[in-house]
Homo-oligomer: A and B are copies of this chain.
């Protein structure tokens, strides 16, 4: 369940004013007044509009989006791809490989999200690819860091025992694995991440296997 689904599960269906605020927004930069964009998503248009206006000022620009499901799914599933980008750094691969992982990874997430009822455009927006870009640019992202350590040869247990903070993407990788099976969606990159994290598959071997798959159409 997404957070908004949990809230409605507790408060009842008649409570429709749940708004999710998401987007590429390192808190450190927001507080410095760096220009930042966000998305306020809700199935209730008035509620989204209210939060949009509240969170807009000369350095903060918030867009409204009715697709709360897409915003929540993109915002959590992109952390799995951030781990993949970190693995790429850990192995020592360059920008070509990372850009391929981000792009094709987001295509997979969008494919699953659409099957779950979200809109494809949302995944190509601020809460999807936008947030993924900021996560992967950042040296501070915990998900990217977990990936990097694993790419350097550590096991997930070693990495997690050395961390004080939570790297959400590790749990999301498990959820994506389950959802992928439930909705029968082909997600080779997310599946590779799952196998690296939980089944001890060698990261470099995983990339080789991903590259060697049957040739396909892009879309």
Contacts and interface: CB of A to CB of B under 8 A. Distances in A.
A160 to B, nearest CB: 26
A2 interface: no
A162 to B, nearest CB: 25
A131 interface: yes
A83 interface: no
A107 to B, nearest CB: 7
A148 interface: no
A161 interface: no
Interface in A17-45: 23-26, 29-30, 32, 34-37, 39
A5 interface: no
B96 A26 contact: yes
Given A35-B100, A58-B208, 8 more contacts: A23-B100, A26-B94, A34-B93, A52-B215, A63-B216, A99-B126, A103-B126, A103-B133
Closest 10 pairs (CB-CB, A-B): A24-B99, A103-B130, A63-B218, A37-B100, A99-B134, A36-B96, A29-B94, A65-B218, A121-B219, A99-B133
